[in-house]
Amino acid sequence: MTTPYQLLYWPGLQGRGEFVRLALEEAGVPYVDVARQKGGMPKTTASLDFDQVDHPSFAPPVLQVGDLLIGQTANILMYLGAKHKLAPRAEAGRLWANQLQLTIADIVAEAHDTHHPISTNLYYEDQKKEAKARAKDFREQRIPKFLNYFEGVVQGGYAVGARLSYVDLSLFQLIEGLRYAFPKAMARLEPAYPKLIALHDKVAARPNIAAYLQSKRRIPFNETGIFRRYPELDK
């Protein structure tokens, strides 16, 4: 393609946009992280506005391809997977990849809710007691349940078929996020998931991904994103 993809996402945080960035980086295709550019925020918010676009998204990320706007992380990745050989060509394989990506979205949402269990309209400090209870259940019950599932999914070194897909990139990001938010819990849990951790390490070593992780394009984890490190939630 000659025109770079336009990634519309909030500046300053990885969030759900990071799953899209990883696919674009692995594919080695040009893209612009619009809101990180001067004057980029109005274009990002316009993608959510019924008065400005025909098919607005509920929330970022949004990928603009020419005049086409694609919303929802899994939807964007399904598109990129087909375009850039990051998904199987057969319909059954593409559906399986999308199913796994949607399951990743489920645990990502649960990770977010550990620090905002009551409302996203309240500050974390306004719901600390509830967050501690939610995080305890997440650490002890939900993380193992999801990781057990994904450990079973990884066969032959990859999640989908015999070669890398966008699902593998997303599983890498999931492990990275959980390590950041819950380092003690993950140190205790990871030995039970050797295939999943081996996949994480394999993705991290891929040339395009390794270069991206060392670049300024990779926004550091922080306490405004989905995965947040509050030590009291990792006891």
Query: Residue 141 burial (CB < 10 Å; 0-12/13-18/19+)?
Result: exposed
CA distance 179 to 187: 8
pTM, entire model? 0.97
pLDDT at 4: 92
pLDDT level of residue 2 (50, 70, 90 thresholds): low
- pLDDT tens across 26-75, in order? 999 999 999 999 999 999 999 999 999 999 999 999 999 999 999 999 99
CA distance 227 to 73: 16
- pLDDT tens across 151-181, in order? 999 999 999 999 999 999 999 999 999 999 9
Percent of the chain with pLDDT over 90: 98
Question: What crossing angle do the helices spanning 91-115 and 73-83 adopt, rounded to 10°?
Answer: 150
- Beginning with the edge strand found earlier in the chain, give each strand of the sheet holding 62-65 in spatial order: 31-33, 5-8, 62-65, 68-71
pLDDT at 106: 98
